[in-house]
Amino acid sequence: MEVDKKRFKKMFPHLAKEMEVKEHGVAITSVRSDAQTAEKVSSEKFVGYMPDVIDFIRRCDNGRQAKEVINYLKKRGEINREYAQRLRKQLNEKGVRSFGPKKEDDYYLKLSDTKKQT
Model confidence at 118, pLDDT cuts 50, 70, 90, reads very low
Q: Is the pTM of this model over 0.85?
A: no
What is the distance between the alpha carbons of residues 106 and 53, in angstroms, rounded to a whole number? 18
- CA-closest candidate to residue 102, choices 76, 66, 77, 72: 66
**How large is the average pLDDT for residues 98-102?**
90
- Which three-class secondary structure state does DSSP give residue 33? coil
Beta strands in the chain (DSSP E): none
Contact call for residues 88 and 67 (beta carbons, < 8 A): yes
Find the largest Cα–Cα distance for the chain.
61
Task: Encode pLDDT of 2-40 as tens digits.
Answer: 778 888 888 888 888 877 776 666 665 555 666 666 666
